[in-house]
Amino acid sequence: PPSPFQAIQLKVQKDEEFACWKRLKTANTQLKIIMEVSSLLAGIGIVAMVELPVGQLEQYPEILIVGFASCTTLLVVVHTLALLIGVCILPHVSSIAKMDEMEFAERSPHDSLRFHINIAWTLSTVIGVGLFLIELLFICWMQFLKTSPVASWIATSILVPSIMLFILFVICFYRKLVKAKTSSTIQDLDHVEVVAAS
Amino acid sequence: PPSPFQAIQLKVQKDEEFACWKRLKTANTQLKIIMEVSSLLAGIGIVAMVELPVGQLEQYPEILIVGFASCTTLLVVVHTLALLIGVCILPHVSSIAKMDEMEFAERSPHDSLRFHINIAWTLSTVIGVGLFLIELLFICWMQFLKTSPVASWIATSILVPSIMLFILFVICFYRKLVKAKTSSTIQDLDHVEVVAAS
Amino acid sequence: PPSPFQAIQLKVQKDEEFACWKRLKTANTQLKIIMEVSSLLAGIGIVAMVELPVGQLEQYPEILIVGFASCTTLLVVVHTLALLIGVCILPHVSSIAKMDEMEFAERSPHDSLRFHINIAWTLSTVIGVGLFLIELLFICWMQFLKTSPVASWIATSILVPSIMLFILFVICFYRKLVKAKTSSTIQDLDHVEVVAAS
Amino acid sequence: PPSPFQAIQLKVQKDEEFACWKRLKTANTQLKIIMEVSSLLAGIGIVAMVELPVGQLEQYPEILIVGFASCTTLLVVVHTLALLIGVCILPHVSSIAKMDEMEFAERSPHDSLRFHINIAWTLSTVIGVGLFLIELLFICWMQFLKTSPVASWIATSILVPSIMLFILFVICFYRKLVKAKTSSTIQDLDHVEVVAAS
Amino acid sequence: PPSPFQAIQLKVQKDEEFACWKRLKTANTQLKIIMEVSSLLAGIGIVAMVELPVGQLEQYPEILIVGFASCTTLLVVVHTLALLIGVCILPHVSSIAKMDEMEFAERSPHDSLRFHINIAWTLSTVIGVGLFLIELLFICWMQFLKTSPVASWIATSILVPSIMLFILFVICFYRKLVKAKTSSTIQDLDHVEVVAAS
Amino acid sequence: PPSPFQAIQLKVQKDEEFACWKRLKTANTQLKIIMEVSSLLAGIGIVAMVELPVGQLEQYPEILIVGFASCTTLLVVVHTLALLIGVCILPHVSSIAKMDEMEFAERSPHDSLRFHINIAWTLSTVIGVGLFLIELLFICWMQFLKTSPVASWIATSILVPSIMLFILFVICFYRKLVKAKTSSTIQDLDHVEVVAAS
């Protein structure tokens, strides 16, 4: 029978393998979500740009047109870049994630490419969705400015707190996630101590 | 052979593991449905906003325009926030749900993130679908106000009871679900007693 | 070796488990079809409502506009409610259906929620598809009334028998399904008798 | 060891089971294809009807409008009925097809519902696709009649042989399929004879 | 232990089984791709035909209209026929491909239907994609003829070499595929010789 | 027990098999992504071309029209060629990748077709996405040139650095990938040395 120390060593090794596997699967799902969300929102941005009633633009103050143009361009660019990064990494991660064998997880490039995945995720989810809400603000102003400025102001009063709520959620969520990771590590350490003590 | 008490203990532990696994799978499906439903309904909201015949808006009373603008904005914002929350949580839940091994279920963050999942679910399903029905009411009024107010009133008389039915269903369903959970717990306890008595 | 009576008991129990599992899988597929069909048809209804050439509505008799408005509203409401019910039940049914182990089938809420599933199915398939055919009738009348009433009448003469055929099929199909279930029960009973006689 | 006769009996029984399973899987795929193809083609029919430039219809001869109206209505009705039949049968067939155990195949209603599946398949694939080609003919005539009748005639001279080719293929394919089934039965019988002779 | 000759016989048989299985899986994927690509490209053809600005057609030379009409009709017809053939064969091939047991591969009709699958594949991929590039050429000419013939000529100078490149690739690819098959057969024969020699 | 040398030989062989399998899976995912991304971006290109307000083109300088026409044509052609190559190779790679048995990986043509896969990948991801960003630049200029050149210039000042960032990322990513491959080979060699030394 293995000695208690060897048992702990084995357990720690198995836990590490599991954690590596979990990171691989998480990265795989993140990359798939980036592809889906970014192509959807980039598509909406393109449609909003193309379906613009060009002939009526002269009625609007230039600041509004400039804001709309830069926001739409940024929205499409951000999602295109996120899509590109996701598309480049996905085949290399997915090829190992589909094998359903934990031992191969270490050979996947998802840890060395973690920085790239994080950038794509931030571009697509955090910046991209935030820009989408700002884009909505510009569309509201362009649609209702002439006929009912009150409607524009009410839409603004709904959107501004929403964007703040959005930023708040993103901050809270990542703080919670970090805490969850730390607590899981502490739990693991406690577990090790208990095993070591027995 | 294990003593009856140990058998009960083992059964209770296995049941708990099963319940944890079931909650994980339910959360996973809920998050996928949130992504699907919210992107569909947010898309419809955006299309309704962009395809608005801006030139004809002057004919409408301002209260209608303001109502339409706030309802559409709220619809898109609610679904965007639900989408964001769902998208942030899904990779962490899905990575464990895909492993198809019950023992890992406890390590998933779906219980500590239950509050976030419930908010996303309520935003997407309860508030989001309700807003969609109200949006339909505004579209009916904007399309038929000038030519046939009777059509608008009939559409309203169909939609108002539907929204009430919708609220009623949501209340009934959650009451039923809570009852089902309680009765399943009671059944489990009965089961434990029977095993204990034998 | 088990006595013949025990063997029958075991067989009956296994059959019941199989029937429960089959009902679970059927409910799961039904809920997925509801989501797909209802979001498609509700989308078509919304598009038909939004793309209405509002400016030309004055040329039509009011009865046609009122009929179109109520039919479209009903179509969208019916499918939205079906979607809502389907979306609320699916995660609880799907979480167990995905486990691929028959013994868990009894713990799924698909039997206690059968009534809700049947309502959603009837709303989405029977009432929803019927309303879609009536909607088609209204669209035909609105598109061809001015230029060619003959075309409207021919479209009507195609659609009315189709709607009758549709009702006939629904009645026949459910009668056949009920008969199939009864005959399968009778077959099972015969089987039991044969086993019992031996 | 089993006698040669028993071996043949066993083989025949296993072959029958396999054939039943194959029919089940084929029916399952057919129903899924019906859902996909019919919702696509019905959608195209609806779009062609709704996007009709109503104001310009007066320029066309009435026979063209009547033909277009009846063809589009028929196209949508045929695919809606196929969709309805497919949607009603699919959950009952799919629930057993997903179990991946051949022994359950006999309990599926796909044999007693074969007639309904064949009707849905014929409506969706044979009649539905044929109507789609005729619909294309009407669209060509309506788009090019005023500006270039030559284009209309050339499109017709492409479409008429295509529709004949289409009918020819359908006839040939079903004759080939029937022959394949017969030859497979004959092969099986030969196999039985060979086993019996040894 | 089996004699060397028996071992070779066994290996050859297993290789044949594997080759048959591979052909089955390849046919299955080809049929799925035909369905996807053909419905996409046929849809684009229909949209290009329906969204034609009919009122402005009189400005174009008749040869352009006739070419556009015949190309679009051909594009839709070719993809519709490919879709029909694919849809008819897929259920019979897919039902066996999904069983994941090599021994059944021989019973699938994918070898006797190889001719049909090849026709559908050629229609969808080779002729269909080629026609799509020619369609693009006609769209360019119709969009830019009046305002900027230079743009039309530049688009033509991009498209003509592309179509040649496309034809070249198709020829090269099939030559390479045939060579790969031959070399794999030769490799197999070498392998047999080596085994036989030992 | 095998000698240390045989153990290394076995390990090297198993590693090679794993690497071959990984390349097969990666190629399979790459081909699927090419199909998805290319059909999306080619579709956007076609829509941008067809929805062009032809009547207003005379207001633009010819250089803009020529640039837009060539960029759109190139975008569609590049993605169509990538789609064609992907579609031709996918069935032959996918048929083996789906078998989930490593030993067959060597028989797949994904290594002999690596050159074609790389061309399709470069066309679809690198050149195709780059052209998409340039297309966005042309759309911005065409939409805002008349009403607000400032908006066009700001959109340009966002897009030009983005395209540079895009090129930078592509270069960095491939350099990193090559380095990862080399380091993994070195690690393997180290591993072999360690095993050999023991």
Q: So what's the pLDDT on residue F11?
A: 76
pLDDT at B76 over 90: yes
pLDDT at C36 over 80: yes
Residue of chain A with shortest Cα separation from F172: A116
CB F88 to CB E133 under 8 A?
no
Across the interface, which of C151, C169, C177 has its CB nearest the CB of D66?
A: C151
Q: So what's the pLDDT on residue C25?
A: 86
Q: So what's the pLDDT on residue F7?
A: 76
Query: Nearest C-alpha of chain A: how many angstroms from F163?
Result: 9
pLDDT at F187 over 70: no
pLDDT at C104 over 80: no
Residue of chain A with shortest Cα separation from B82: A166
Q: So what's the pLDDT on residue A182?
A: 67
Whether domain C15-193 has CATH 1.10.3720.10 = no
Residue of chain E with shortest Cα separation from F60: E147
Across the interface, which of F65, F88, F99 has its CB nearest the CB of E147?
A: F65
Q: What's the whole-number average pLDDT of chain A?
A: 82
Q: So what's the pLDDT on residue B145?
A: 81
Q: What's the whole-number average pLDDT of chain F?
A: 82
pLDDT at B195 over 70: no
Q: So what's the pLDDT on residue D105?
A: 66
Residue of chain C with shortest Cα separation from D105: C22
pLDDT tier, D112 (very low <50, low <70, confident <90, very high otherwise): confident
Burial class (CB in 10 A: 0-12, 13-18, 19+), D162: buried
pLDDT at F189 over 70: no
Q: So what's the pLDDT on residue F194?
A: 64
CB E150 to CB F83 under 8 A?
no
pLDDT digits (tens, 9 = 90+) for D85-102: 999 889 888 888 877 666
Task: Kindly report which listed range (B140-144, E118-122, F143-147) carries the lowest average pLDDT score.
Answer: F143-147
Contact partners, residue B45, CB within 8 Å, separation at least 6: B72, B75, B76, B79, B132, B135
pLDDT at D196 over 70: no
Q: If you average pLDDT over each of C105-114, C140-149, E8-17, which comes out highest?
A: C140-149
Residues of A with CB under 8 A from a CB of F: 35, 39, 43, 46, 49-52, 54-55, 57-58, 60, 62, 65-66, 68-70, 73-74, 76-77, 80-81, 83-85, 87-88, 90-92, 94-96, 98-99, 104, 107, 109, 112-113, 116
Q: What's the whole-number average pLDDT of chain B?
A: 82
CB C154 to CB D69 under 8 A?
yes
Domain boundaries, chain C: 15-193
CB C26 to CB D112 under 8 A?
no
CB B136 to CB C46 under 8 A?
yes
CB C154 to CB D85 under 8 A?
no
F-chain CB neighbours of A55 within 8 Å are 56
CB C136 to CB D88 under 8 A?
no
Q: What is the mean pLDDT of residues D96-125?
A: 78
Contact partners, residue C15, CB within 8 Å, separation at least 6: C188
Q: What is the mean pLDDT of residues C10-25?
A: 80
% pLDDT > 90, chain D: 24
Q: What's the whole-number average pLDDT of chain D?
A: 82
pLDDT tens digit at each of 198 positions of chain E: 567 677 777 877 777 777 788 888 888 999 999 999 999 899 888 888 887 776 677 778 888 888 998 999 999 999 999 999 999 889 888 888 877 666 666 666 767 788 888 889 989 988 999 999 999 999 888 888 877 888 889 999 999 999 998 888 888 888 877 776 666 666 656 665 665 665
Across the interface, which of A52, A80, A90 has its CB nearest the CB of F29?
A: A90
pLDDT at F162 over 70: yes
D-chain CB neighbours of C27 within 8 Å are 91
Q: Which two tokens stand for residue D18?
A: 């396999």
Query: Nearest C-alpha of chain D: how many angstroms from C181?
Result: 10
Q: Which amino acid is at E152?
A: S
Candidates B50, B52, B100, B117: best to mutate against A (most CBs of A within 10 A) is B50
CB F162 to CB A81 under 8 A?
yes
- Please state, in angstroms and rounded to a whole number, the distance separating the CA atoms of residues A110 and A88: 12
∠ CA E91-C101-C95, rounded to 5°: 85
Query: Nearest C-alpha of chain B: how many angstroms from C57?
Result: 6
| Interchain touch E–C (≥3 Cβ pairs closer than 8 Å) | no
Q: So what's the pLDDT on residue B193?
A: 65
Across the interface, which of F65, F74, F116 has its CB nearest the CB of E158?
A: F74
Pick the CATH number of A4-197 from 3.40.50.880, 3.50.50.60, 1.20.140.140, 3.40.50.10490: 1.20.140.140
CB A69 to CB F148 under 8 A?
yes
Residues of B with CB under 8 A from a CB of A: 35, 39, 43, 46, 49-52, 54-55, 57-58, 60, 62, 65-66, 68-70, 73-74, 76-77, 80-81, 83-85, 87-88, 90-92, 94-96, 98-99, 104, 107, 109, 112-113, 116
Q: Please name the chains neighbouring C, where neighbouring means 3+ C-beta pairs under 8 angstroms.
A: B, D
Residue of chain A with shortest Cα separation from B43: A44
3-state helix/strand/coil string of E91-152: HHHHHHHCCCCHHHHHHCCCCCCHHHHHHHHHHHHHHHHHHHHHHHHHHHHHHHCCCCHHHH
Q: Which two tokens stand for residue C186?
A: 């009778």
Q: Which two tokens stand for residue E127?
A: 């002729």
- Please state, in angstroms and rounded to a whole number, the distance separating the CA atoms of residues A158 and A172: 21
Pick the CATH number of D4-159 from 3.40.50.10490, 1.10.287.130, 3.40.50.450, 1.20.140.140: 1.20.140.140
% pLDDT > 70, chain B: 82
% pLDDT > 70, chain F: 82
CB D155 to CB E80 under 8 A?
no
Q: So what's the pLDDT on residue F26?
A: 87
Q: What is the mean pLDDT of residues F169-174?
A: 84
Query: Nearest C-alpha of chain F: how many angstroms from E98?
Result: 11
Task: Kindly report which listed range (B48-62, B125-139, E83-97, F121-135) carries the lowest average pLDDT score.
Answer: B48-62
pLDDT tier, C174 (very low <50, low <70, confident <90, very high otherwise): confident
Tokens 């896969």 locate to: F117
Contact partners, residue C99, CB within 8 Å, separation at least 6: B21, B25
pLDDT digits (tens, 9 = 90+) for A125-170: 889 999 999 999 998 888 888 778 888 899 999 999 999 989 888 8
Long-range contacts of D51-56 (CB under 8 A, 24+ apart): D51/C51, D51/E50, D51/E51, D52/C143, D53/E54, D54/C53, D54/C56, D54/C143, D54/C146, D54/C147, D55/C56, D56/E54, D56/E55
Q: So what's the pLDDT on residue F54?
A: 66
Are the C-beta atoms of residues E54 and D147 closer than 8 Å to each other?
yes
Q: At what angle do helices A128-144 and B4-50 cross, to 10 degrees?
A: 40
Q: So what's the pLDDT on residue D83?
A: 92
Query: Nearest C-alpha of chain C: how many angstroms from B57?
Result: 12
Q: So what's the pLDDT on residue F46?
A: 87
Are the C-beta atoms of residues C143 and D54 closer than 8 Å to each other?
yes
∠ CA A177-A181-A186, rounded to 5°: 145
- Please state, in angstroms and rounded to a whole number, the distance separating the CA atoms of residues D12 and B34: 50
**Total CB pairs under 8 A between chain D and E:** 127
- Please state, in angstroms and rounded to a whole number, the distance separating the CA atoms of residues E47 and D40: 13
pLDDT at F31 over 70: yes
Widest CA span of chain A, in angstroms?
84
pLDDT tier, C195 (very low <50, low <70, confident <90, very high otherwise): low
Query: Nearest C-alpha of chain F: how many angstroms from E6?
Result: 22
pLDDT at B32 over 80: yes
Q: So what's the pLDDT on residue F134?
A: 92
Query: Nearest C-alpha of chain B: how many angstroms from A41?
Result: 10
Across the interface, which of F57, F69, F81 has its CB nearest the CB of E166?
A: F81
Are the C-beta atoms of residues C64 and C142 closer than 8 Å to each other?
yes
| Interchain touch A–E (≥3 Cβ pairs closer than 8 Å) | no
pLDDT tier, A13 (very low <50, low <70, confident <90, very high otherwise): confident
CB F95 to CB E165 under 8 A?
no
pLDDT tier, C169 (very low <50, low <70, confident <90, very high otherwise): confident
pLDDT at C84 over 80: yes
CB D66 to CB C150 under 8 A?
yes
Question: Which CA distances in Å does E83 have to A112, D79, E77?
Answer: 44, 16, 10
CB A169 to CB B85 under 8 A?
yes
Residue of chain B with shortest Cα separation from C109: B180
% pLDDT > 90, chain A: 24
E-chain CB neighbours of F112 within 8 Å are 176, 180
Q: What is the mean pLDDT of residues C2-27?
A: 79
Q: Please name the chains neighbouring A, where neighbouring means 3+ C-beta pairs under 8 angstroms.
A: B, F
∠ CA B186-B191-B193, rounded to 5°: 95
C-chain CB neighbours of B136 within 8 Å are 46, 49, 73, 76-77
pLDDT at F71 over 90: yes
